[in-house]
């Protein structure tokens, strides 16, 4: 059986948790890997789905040039709340964000932590 990827969309931990819970409800039990992923998400995820969605909208509302969905989702996962922490999170991507924009992101995240 050959599988083909039709679409790839970045998601944050809260969306992963929601999907795993749907699968658990549907199948009554998760497989080993999915159960481990759910345990990890439950330990790490600090915000709820609603707050994560609100944070996503606020960061997108900044209209920061070159900041794309994968970077926004990673910021929501890690919740960096200072300019330096935002820079560290974004170092893993091939993107350059100004100090002022990193500070704006950090200030918005600080309101959610």
Q: How far is CA 1 from CA 4, 11, 51, 66, in A?
A: 10, 26, 39, 38
Query: What dihedral angle (degrees, nearest 10) is formed by the CA atoms of 94, 99, 102, 108?
Result: -170
pLDDT tens figures, 83-109: 999 999 999 898 889 999 999 999 999
In whole angstroms, what is the distance from residue 13 CA to residue 23 CA? 15
pLDDT tens figures, 13-47: 998 999 999 999 999 899 999 999 999 999 988 88
In whole angstroms, what is the distance from residue 105 CA to residue 72 CA? 10
Flag whether the pTM goes above 0.95.
no
Give me the chain's average pLDDT, please. Answer: 91
């Amino acid at each position: 059986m050959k599988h083909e990827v039709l679409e790839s969309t970045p998601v944050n931990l809260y969306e992963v948790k929601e999907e795993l819970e749907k699968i658990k409800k549907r199948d009554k039990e998760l497989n080993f890997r999915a159960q481990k992923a759910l345990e990890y998400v439950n330990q790490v995820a600090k915000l709820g789905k609603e707050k994560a969605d609100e944070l996503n909208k606020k960061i997108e509302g900044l209209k920061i040039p070159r900041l794309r969905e994968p970077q926004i989702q990673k910021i929501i996962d890690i919740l960096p709340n200072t300019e330096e922490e935002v820079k560290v999170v974004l170092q893993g991507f091939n993107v350059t964000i100004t100090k002022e924009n990193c500070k704006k992101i950090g200030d918005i995240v600080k309101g959610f932590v």
